[in-house]
Structure 1
């Protein structure tokens, strides 16, 4: 409700100030906290673009990360850095060849904080800045909950939750150090909302629920630094980890119950949402999750 719409009742009266000689006059200071605004300057042209932006994407050597990188480059990103544990494959090399000097790889184990910090330092040493961090690296394992053992749980949470946290905090510290109004985007999942009936995994959904909540909380904490934090929740995406899903004999039957778009997405179909959140066009967007899941019944 607008403050202008709040009208005091006729029976309400303002308290009378006690100005007698024995009245203690208490002065209270309510100074507003200092926030670094994310509002673009007057010269901003409002085009959704990543022009001059240096963006780090974890797990960008393949899959969703590579799709995000491809779309970021198509939207004028100055440089894309893949932070990945494994050596790049043919798809990454082809993207690098198509965009000379704009695509880079640095080996990084996101489950180790010192490795993430070293990777970000390397980016800044080479490029002079970092504007965006996409905490995308993750893994899944689909099996009944009663079949998970402790090592499997730790592997999922170390990568999906701790890894995302290390990437976000390391990037935030560098943004603050350099005075950059940066953007952090987590890759969450549709399973952070509801179970994936086609391939259930309670621990995986738990990790992605943690990631989505973490984005909201960090957005609140870091707004004063001009840092925005958001997440994307993909639906079914065709990657090396999920290709088998549509090969199941009951796939078509399952899709009838899901409704919406009965297919897997190409990773590049997610890219537009990431570009928006990484760009200054989303300067007033923080603390949200954007579901990009064509199979609407999954929600």
Structure 2
């Protein structure tokens, strides 16, 4: 190879191998090391009720500047009651299965506040029935909301963090069914969607760390919501609880909130790519 060609190839290789500078997640030197969301703007998908609303309440209780619920359904009485206590809770109608809808919602948050610091990809659905009865259309509906919705919410938020130069945090709601079967109400497709959510967080955390973006997940066990009302009505519930040595109850959604607050706070600046199981009773089944 002629010398000129050799030099050109070496120059090209040098340019390719230049590492991208990392944006450190370390807080400022005067950081108080309190676990707080003071001055932070948080968006939570599916926060008009259930787990999402519980997360919103705990974020607000921990000094979040603004909390936005990005939800398809209209707010109900529970949301309005919380909004009366915390006027800095807002709602933006959003279809998380539509990238355009999500992008519009994130842009509106930034237009109103000038920033966005955290995104909780929480919106999801479940369907419990024997695997032999699931049809393709039902699986596609589950995956479209639980997996694709979470992925694109994270992607759109990450792009906005990078655009604004914000060291943002993304937390996805997975499930204990991503680890083990739910014997009380089996759903192979639902568990698969939540395993996908938990797994994708690891790779997103690796890819986006150079931008100072952290990505983690939470895996709740049984939480008392409109989707789990049937659990305690099971005829053998008391018997199951008799032989279980842990917490014989379902969680209040707010009991999950502390983990979300920690992961979105600057106190967790070296925490990324992990899942935090908040299992309660599920772990022993």
* Fold shared, TM-score > 0.5 on shorter chain: yes
Are 1:56 and 2:43 an aligned pair?
A: yes
Are 1:211 and 2:197 an aligned pair?
A: yes
For residues 122-137 of structure 1, what are the structure 2 equivalents within 5 Å? 122-137=108-123
Distance 1:185 1:123 in 2: 18
State the Cα distance separating 1:259 from its structure 2 match. Answer: 3.9
Structure 2: where are the runs of 5+ without partners? 1-9
State the Cα distance separating 1:31 from its structure 2 match. Answer: 5.0
Distance 2:140 2:127 in 1: 12
Contact 2:170 / 2:213 at 8 angstroms: preserved in 1?
A: yes
TM-score, with normalisation over the residues of structure 1?
0.88
For residues 153-164 of structure 1, what are the structure 2 equivalents within 5 Å? 153-164=139-150
Distance 2:280 2:123 in 1: 22
Distance 1:133 1:257 in 2: 39
Aligned length: 273
Q: 2:216 corresponds to which residue?
A: 230
State the Cα distance separating 1:298 from its structure 2 match. Answer: 3.7
Distance 1:80 1:297 in 2: 31
Structure number having the greater helix percentage: 2
Query: Which of 61, 65, 83 is residue 74 of structure 1 equivalent to?
Result: 61
Query: Secondary structure at 2:262's aligned position in 1?
Result: helix
Q: 1:99 corresponds to which residue?
A: 86
CA root-mean-square deviation: 1.5
State the Cα distance separating 1:33 from its structure 2 match. Answer: 3.6
Distance 2:284 2:194 in 1: 15
For residues 1-299 of structure 1, what are the structure 2 equivalents within 5 Å? 31-100=18-87, 102-256=88-242, 258-295=244-281, 297-298=283-284
Q: 2:3 corresponds to which residue?
A: none
Q: 1:6 corresponds to which residue?
A: none
State the Cα distance separating 1:254 from its structure 2 match. Answer: 2.5
Deviates more, 1:156-165 or 1:258-267: 258-267
TM-score, with normalisation over the residues of structure 2?
0.93
Contact 2:176 / 2:282 at 8 angstroms: preserved in 1?
A: no
Please identify the structure whose Cα radius of gyration is greater: 1
Distance 2:19 2:144 in 1: 38
